A and B are shown apart, each in its own frame.
Chain A
Amino acid sequence: MKQFTYTVSDPLGIHARPAGLLAKEAKRFSSVCTITKEGQTKKLTQLMMLMSMGVKQGDTVTVAAEGEDEEAAIAALQSFFENHL
């Protein structure tokens, strides 16, 4: 399993637009991609669950990928977070 932690700097947090793009990004990989905030873990492909976590600016989350293409998945997710969130 690969993972990284990230502190969200987007003023709106993970709102609908980036959540949608994030889910789309995670679907490209066969690995199971998850996000954890304060002990609560959701799959990144669970769009509505992801939104319902209410990740805000300043929140620190852990993003993980597990599966055959976990290396590529985590790299793609890391760059997604850095560029959009």
Chain B
Amino acid sequence: MITIQGKGVSAGVAKGPLYFLRRPNTRIEKQTVEDTGAEKRRLAAAQTESVRQLEELAEKCRDEAEDAAVLFETHAMFVEDEDFVACIEEQLEEEACNAEYAVEQAGEQFAVMLAAMDDPYMQARAADIKDVARRIINNLTGAVSGGFDTDEPVILCADDLAPSETLQLDKSKILGFVTKKGSNNSHTAILARTMGIPAVCAAGDALQEGYTGRLCYIDGETGELIIDPDPISLAALTEKLGKQAERKQLLETMKGQKDITLDGREIMLYCNIGSLEDVSAVQENDGQGIGLFRSEFLYLGAKTYPTEEEQFLAYRAVAAAMQGKRVIIRTLDIGADKQVDYFRMEKEVNPALGMRAIRICLNRPEVFRTQLRALYRASAYGKVAIMFPMITSVWEVRECKRACHRVMAELEKEGVPFDRSTELGIMIETPASVLVADALAEEVDFFSVGTNDLIQYTLACDRQSNDLGKFYDPHHPAVLRALKIAADAAHRAGKWIGICGELAADIGLLPTFLAIGIDELSVTPSAVLPLRAELRRSIAKTCTLDMLKC
């Protein structure tokens, strides 16, 4: 048995043959040239081609990975960086050498400079510089990049993988990654976690090319790479692999399935999102709608009030992407722990009980109107629902509805399309809203329970405090009874009720939610399939309210 100890950076176990990345022309020979002018022209052509390739790469991943796109744009700027170019040309002149060698030398110099910095982020950028240099060299030699050509899936080994290399890899042929160098922050680690496959880095020189083709196991938790495991290790690894495959397969089979219990109770299984980028995760995990779209990201990420147009474009993008599935957008919920400078809020002794969420909107009708106009305009492009946070009184809801009617009247007058039947709902997150839930249910189309705040206000426990421990009990009967009271009120009025707080993903509470009669659960995208699996083996009729008893 050969064991190589590295650092696990992406969990899971993989089994497969080792494959070392074959980079074209890894060794650059220094050659003396007579005509350095000709070399400079070759260099210029290779730079132009490199920039073109990088811009193309940036465009290719613009929609799915904005960060990667910016990275490639930065690489394109590296190619033409005046110091880098000057350094290459100086090498060329002084050494009278081939352009490949000059580029490699310059790349090394800059990489060393960054690697020597007292900052892990900058150290990691040394790989970017080398990547850029390698690209220019490949373009000089005319070599095809990639270096990865295999018919069977493999565990890919390299000293370290550059970002542009990882993008070009055929992902369907990769079972896991092992790198000699790298860290938790390196591109390989990030990619592996996104792909959901195991990775081990910092394996060091023990990882030899001589192992090519050998069958091995990697464990992304323990950071081990094992070739020819002894019977005990083999049994342990096989068991891990088996469990992992079972779980993955089970979850895969959940895609496209209905969210229904064995006895036919259907639940709407939706997702919580905080930005446009999260929509792809909703689709990948087969979420049936969006139960909470936090509109704060538009405000928190800005230096001043986002315009109606900016908001409209964001809401429309999500509504359209969800193709007619319900998208519940919560109106501005700032204040308390989420402060925005340009709102110029007064400092409060107790912000959780202060000017926050709907209270700000009702006090600042112009801010509210802008958002409502954007929301109604977006309603023409999908199934948008509007949800108001932090409601305590019936009059607040009526005022919100009046604001909605005013906006609809405006849009109608302007001839702007919108959906008049856009559903309106409220968050149930204060004890007051639970106690007057009967009256509130008459006013709206749905309730959605924000459990984090409901727990905080019901149990008088600050959710930001780390010391409250056992006192902050999400399973407290008072919280669950509050849910039951709100649900009963909603159902008596013929309305539906959901949960969009963190508690919704608590699988242990699913029977209680079913017994209470919760109609919708909105959770983080990765929680959809496990929850669906649990739901599909539940029997709603046999669920009890035992947890509501003290």
Interface of B is mostly: helix
Q: Is the CB of B114 within 8 A of A47?
A: no
Indicate which residue in A12, A15, A45, A54 contacts B118 across the interface (CB closer than 8 Å). Answer: A54
Report the interface size class on chain B. Answer: 20 to 34
Q: Is the CB of A83 within 8 A of B303?
A: yes
Q: Is the CB of B81 within 8 A of A48?
A: yes
Interface size on A, residues (CB 8 A): 20
Instruction: List the one stretch of A16-24, A30-38, A62-70 in contact with chain B.
Output: A16-24
- Interface membership of B29, Cβ < 8 A: no
Binary contact readout A48-69 vs B (1 if CB under 8 angstroms, 0 otherwise): 1101101010000000000000
A15 vs B73: C-alpha distance in the bound complex, in angstroms? 14
Q: Is the CB of A49 within 8 A of B125?
A: no
Q: Is the CB of A47 within 8 A of B78?
A: yes
Q: Is the CB of A54 within 8 A of B122?
A: yes
**Chain B residues, CB < 8 A from A71:** none
Q: Is the CB of B121 within 8 A of A15?
A: yes
Residue of B nearest to A19 (CB): B74
Q: How far is the CB of B86 from chain A (nearest CB, A)?
A: 10
A52 vs B71: C-alpha distance in the bound complex, in angstroms? 17
**Chain A residues, CB < 8 A from B83:** 46-49
Question: In the complex, which of the residues B73, B110, B118, B122 has the most CB atoms of chain A within 10 Å of its own CB atom?
Answer: B122
A45 and B125 in contact (CB under 8 A), knowing A17-B74, A20-B73? Answer: no
Q: Is the CB of A16 within 8 A of B74?
A: yes
- Interface membership of B440, Cβ < 8 A: no
Residue of A nearest to B86 (CB): A46
Q: How far is the CB of B131 from chain A (nearest CB, A)?
A: 12
Q: Is the CB of B84 within 8 A of A48?
A: yes
Binary contact readout B57-94 vs A (1 if CB under 8 angstroms, 0 otherwise): 00000000000001101100110011110000000000
Q: How far is the CB of A44 from chain B (nearest CB, A)?
A: 11
Binary contact readout A4-28 vs B (1 if CB under 8 angstroms, 0 otherwise): 0000000010011101100110000
Question: In the complex, which of the residues B78, B81, B118 has the most CB atoms of chain A within 10 Å of its own CB atom?
Answer: B81
Question: In the complex, which of the residues B74, B110, B118 has the most CB atoms of chain A within 10 Å of its own CB atom?
Answer: B74
Q: Is the CB of B77 within 8 A of A20?
A: yes
Q: Is the CB of A46 within 8 A of B119?
A: no
**Chain A residues, CB < 8 A from B119:** 54, 56
- Interface membership of B333, Cβ < 8 A: no
Residue of B nearest to A17 (CB): B70
Q: Is the CB of A54 within 8 A of B117?
A: yes
Question: In the complex, which of the residues A20, A45, A83 has the most CB atoms of chain B within 10 Å of its own CB atom?
Answer: A20
Q: Among residues 376 to 431 in chain B, which have CB atoms less than 8 Å away from a CB atom of chain A?
A: none
A56 vs B119: C-alpha distance in the bound complex, in angstroms? 9
**Chain B residues, CB < 8 A from A51:** 114, 122, 125
Q: How far is the CB of A11 from chain B (nearest CB, A)?
A: 11
A18 vs B77: C-alpha distance in the bound complex, in angstroms? 12
**Chain A residues, CB < 8 A from B262:** none
A18 vs B283: C-alpha distance in the bound complex, in angstroms? 31
Residue of A nearest to B303 (CB): A83
A46 and B121 in contact (CB under 8 A), knowing A16-B74, A20-B73? Answer: no
A: which residues have CB within 8 A of B?
A: 12, 15-17, 19-20, 23-24, 43, 45-49, 51-52, 54, 56, 82-83
> With A17-B74, A24-B77, A46-B82 given, can you name 20 additional A-B contacts, CB distance below 8 Å?
A15-B122, A16-B71, A17-B71, A19-B74, A20-B70, A23-B77, A23-B81, A47-B78, A48-B84, A48-B110, A48-B113, A48-B114, A51-B122, A51-B125, A52-B113, A52-B114, A54-B119, A54-B122, A82-B303, A83-B303
**Cβ-closest 6 pairs across A and B:** A20-B74, A47-B81, A46-B83, A20-B77, A16-B74, A54-B119
